[in-house]
């Protein structure tokens, strides 16, 4: 659906729109994997959040377990995007 919208709004062919969307998502993914954040002014910021290891219980057995530390992508919406939603 995104590729169709990009092609329709930009006048690009679907092939070119696919390349553009893929290039953007690949660039964001590479930056996040490198530990960088990506700011799209007015739209928002993609970043990586570190989640620390924590204790939990298996709901079916009640046995305690440890959930390991991990990294998780996050998105914080920008002011322009937020304003358009309200």
Residue range 24-82, pLDDT digits in tens = 999 999 999 999 999 999 999 999 999 999 999 999 999 999 999 999 999 999 999 99
In terms of pTM, does the model score above 0.85? no
Q: How confident is the model at residue 86 (pLDDT cuts 50, 70, 90)?
A: confident
> How far from the centroid of its chain's Cα atoms is residue 45's Cα?
9
Residues 6 or more apart whose Cβ sits within 8 Å of residue 49: 71, 72, 73, 74
């Amino acid at each position: 659906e995104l590729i169709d919208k990009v092609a329709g709004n930009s006048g690009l062919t679907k092939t070119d729109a696919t390349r553009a969307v893929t290039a953007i998502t690949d660039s964001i993914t590479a930056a996040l994997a490198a530990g960088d954040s990506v700011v799209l002014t007015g739209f928002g910021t993609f970043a990586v959040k570190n989640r620390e290891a924590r204790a939990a219980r298996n709901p079916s057995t009640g046995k305690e377990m440890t959930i390991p530390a991990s990294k998780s992508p996050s998105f914080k919406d920008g002011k322009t995007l937020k304003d358009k939603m309200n």
